Every structure is written in structure tokens, then in C-alpha cells.
């Protein structure tokens, strides 16, 4: 008899349900006797013993469903060792709930923060298997995370829609793309949507270079320009600031987000009319694209296989077109970022795309 706990933590994304279904189908189909428990709203459910039993029926019809059937929440790693408002030791509470249910293992689906806590639980002696979810694709140890391709589709659709109106009005348009501190989503959606300028956190921008590109397009007869700007894009000046100086500067930041700052600077210095579009959380919503359904199902079934074999302490990742097991201690606490000299960046530059550098 296997007793398995499962939870989804952090910001949701597409294909979380597909991945859990993959795990469940693999294990339920194995013929092994199994009890499966779903902890509700991420680590919160594990801390406070909020769970429900899961059966095959829970996974019926969820392959195409966005969000997560277990709910999710953010439980920041930096405060995980602090007692809660009632003095509860959260790490100890998670361990006790694991032992009370006599679990053989926990399946944890999450991104960067989630992996730090998963690794902590592993180091505390719990059996853990994780799956890489995030639209940001910024998890160390895997070339791809599920949710990413679906989000690229949505961000690309947003740029596509802006294209026609930008062309009609001869305006400059900024589409702000999610991705937190990394630029994979913006880079891919920007190329797919035919953006003229792509600004990502890994390549700090010079606003004059951005304006030069807009003017060059105008001189060549293109009266509109589309910028795909990562929500974490940063100027060359700001990139030079220390963490402390940057934090201080941000205290008096007057813009809703970086795109509005860039828009104002373009208008001030060049007189061009600029419009900003922020698709925001739509990028995490809706049904997973076919790629993510297949990818998450594969990762899920591999995780199921590992659990049946009693192999714990790994994230199921994807490297060089192969599904791989990555030790959790290698994943936790590291960020995967776009290399400024990556081939895809060089290729984008050959297409004439400006990165503001």
C-alpha cells in the first residue's frame, strides 16, 4: 500500500491538473494499492492539515482544465521557519501531518520558492518528488517548465492583436509580458509576435537605443513600432545600482510598472505617442496548450513511476530532449536566466530585433 500526498504551491499556471492527473493515472493503473491525499492551497494545507482524499474521479476531465483542483497559495520560503501568528512551528507542523497520515511521499508541484521549501522538507527526512511548473520557465535543472508554452501562446496573441491597431494608427505600442525576473516568456512571445524591440531583465536597456530603433523604423517607412517588455526589464542606469540603492529608488516609484516608465521616456524624448497593454494574469489562465498537456502528462507519469520504485528527492525535469531526475538540492535556490549571448538572442538580433543594448 502506498500513501501519497500531493500539493500545488505558488502562482498557478496551465497544466497543473494535467501533471497531477499524469501522476495519479500512472499510480492508479499500476494495480498497487494506494491512498492519495490532496493538500489544499499549497503548503498551507500541509501546515494546517487541510486535505481531502483523492480518487480516480478527481482526475477525470481535468486534462484540459486550467488552474489547480487543489487550489494554491504563496507561502514564502524566507518566513517558513518563523512561527505563524499563533506561534505554530510551520516546518514541524508539515512533518507531523506527513507522519500522521503515514505518507510514503509528497508530490509537490511548484516553481522556485516552492522548490526551496520542498528541499527543506527533504532535508528534514520527508520523501519528496517535485514537478516543475511556472510560466516563467526560470527553474534551474530543467530546460522547460509546464505552463510556459501556454503563456507564450497567450502573450503572443496579445502582441498579434496589438499589431493591427498599431499599424492602423502609426503608434508605438508596448506589450508588458510576465516572467518575474527573467525574460524567457518575453523573448519567445516577442519573437513569435514579431516585436521590433524586446526588453528583458538579463539585457539592461538604454532608452536612447530604444528611441533610435523607433526613429530608424520611421525613416524606413514603418510608422508603428511594437515593444515586448518584460515586467522585470531594467535600464542600464538602474542595473548599476546596488540592491539597497535600487530598493530605495523604488520606494518613490511613480509608475504602475516599468512599461509606463519606458512609455513616458519615449514620449518625452521623441514626441511619439505610446500606448501600454498589460495582459497580466491572463497569461497564467485558461486551458493548457497541447504542448503543455503532453509535457505535463509525461512528467506526471514519470513521477508516478519514480514513486512506485521508491525513488525520492528529485525534481522530474527535462534536459536535452530527455526526461531526467534532478536532485532537489541542485534545483533549490537557483534561478535559470536567459544568457545575453544565447543563440536565440543572437538569432533575434539577426532578424533586426533591438534589445536596447
* Residues identified as active-site: 136
Closest residue by beta carbon to ligand F6P: 178
How many other C-beta atoms lie within 10 A of the C-beta of residue 205? 27
Residue 68 makes contact with ligand F6P by CB under 6 A:
no
DSSP string covering 9-74: -SS--TTHHHHHHHHHHHHHHT---EEEEEETTTHHHHHHT-EEEE-GGGGTT-TT--S-TT----
Report the residue from 70, 103, 178, 307 that binds ligand F6P according to the rule CB under 6 A.
Answer: 178
Angle at CA of residue 343, ends 337 and 347, nearest 5° = 120
Nearest approach, Cβ of 40 to ligand F6P (angstroms)?
A: 18
User: Residue 74 or residue 305: which is nearer to ligand F6P going by CB?
Assistant: 74
Nearest approach, Cβ of 181 to ligand F6P (angstroms)?
A: 8
Report the residue from 5, 6, 7, 11 that binds ligand F6P according to the rule CB under 6 A.
Answer: 11
Residue 136 makes contact with ligand F6P by CB under 6 A:
yes
3-state class of 312 per DSSP?
coil
Report the residue from 115, 284, 293, 336 that binds ligand F6P according to the rule CB under 6 A.
Answer: 284
H helices then E strands: how many in the chain?
Answer: 13, 11
Stretch that binds ligand F6P, among 22-30, 130-138, 157-165, 240-248 (CB under 6 A): 130-138
Angle between helices 90-100 and 112-123 (to 10 degrees): 70
Distance CA 173, CA 161 (A): 11
Residue 133 makes contact with ligand F6P by CB under 6 A:
no
Nearest approach, Cβ of 7 to ligand F6P (angstroms)?
A: 17
Residue 190 makes contact with ligand F6P by CB under 6 A:
no
Nearest approach, Cβ of 196 to ligand F6P (angstroms)?
A: 23
Nearest approach, Cβ of 287 to ligand F6P (angstroms)?
A: 17
Q: Where are the beta strands (DSSP E) in the chain?
A: 2-8, 34-39, 51-54, 105-110, 128-132, 172-177, 197-199, 225-230, 274-277, 314-319, 322-327
Report the residue from 70, 135, 198, 226 that binds ligand F6P according to the rule CB under 6 A.
Answer: 135
Residue with cell 497543473: 16
List contacts with ligand F6P (CB under 6 A).
11, 74, 111, 134-136, 178-180, 231, 284
Amino acid at each position: 500500500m502506498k500513501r501519497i500526498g500531493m500539493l500545488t504551491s505558488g502562482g498557478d499556471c496551465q497544466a497543473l491538473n494535467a501533471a497531477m492527473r499524469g501522476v495519479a493515472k500512472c499510480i492508479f493503473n499500476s494495480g498497487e494499492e494506494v491512498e492519495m491525499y490532496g493538500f489544499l492551497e499549497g503548503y498551507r494545507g500541509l501546515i494546517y492539515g487541510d486535505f481531502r482524499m483523492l480518487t480516480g474521479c478527481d482526475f477525470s476531465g481535468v486534462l484540459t482544465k486550467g488552474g489547480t483542483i487543489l487550489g494554491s497559495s504563496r507561502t514564502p520560503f524566507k518566513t517558513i521557519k518563523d512561527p505563524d501568528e499563533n506561534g505554530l512551528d510551520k516546518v514541524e507542523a508539515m512533518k507531523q501531518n506527513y507522519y500522521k497520515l503515514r505518507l510514503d511521499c509528497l508530490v509537490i508541484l511548484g516553481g522556485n520558492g516552492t522548490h526551496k521549501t520542498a528541499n527543506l522538507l527533504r532535508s528534514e527526512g520527508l520523501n519528496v518528488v517535485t514537478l516543475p511548473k511556472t510560466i516563467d520557465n526560470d527553474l534551474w535543472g530543467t530546460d522547460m517548465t509546464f505552463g510556459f508554452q501556454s503563456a507564450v501562446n497567450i502573450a503572443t496573441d496579445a502582441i498579434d492583436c496589438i499589431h493591427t491597431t498599431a499599424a492602423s494608427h502609426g503608434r508605438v505600442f508596448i506589450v508588458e509580458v510576465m516572467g518575474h525576473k527573467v525574460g524567457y516568456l518575453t523573448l519567445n512571445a516577442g519573437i513569435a509576435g514579431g516585436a521590433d524591440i524586446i526588453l528583458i531583465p538579463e539585457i539592461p536597456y538604454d532608452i536612447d537605443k530604444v528611441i533610435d530603433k523607433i526613429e530608424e523604423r520611421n525613416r524606413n517607412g514603418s510608422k508603428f513600432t511594437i515593444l515586448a517588455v518584460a515586467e522585470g526589464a531594467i535600464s542600464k542606469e538602474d542595473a548599476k545600482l546596488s540592491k539597497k540603492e535600487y530598493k530605495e529608488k523604488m520606494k518613490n516609484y511613480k509608475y504602475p510598472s516599468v512599461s509606463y516608465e519606458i512609455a513616458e521616456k519615449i514620449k518625452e524624448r521623441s514626441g511619439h505617442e505610446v500606448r501600454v497593454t498589460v495582459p497580466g494574469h491572463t497569461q497564467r489562465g485558461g486551458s493548457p496548450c497541447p504542448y503543455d498537456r503532453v509535457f505535463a502528462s509525461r512528467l506526471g507519469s514519470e513521477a508516478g513511476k519514480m514513486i512506485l520504485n521508491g525513488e525520492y528527492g528529485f525534481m522530474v525535469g527535462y534536459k536535452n530532449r530527455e526526461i531526467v531526475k534532478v536532485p532537489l538540492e541542485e534545483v533549490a535556490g537557483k534561478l535559470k536566466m536567459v544568457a545575453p549571448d544565447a543563440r536565440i538572442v543572437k538569432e533575434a538580433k539577426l532578424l533586426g530585433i533591438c534589445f536596447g543594448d
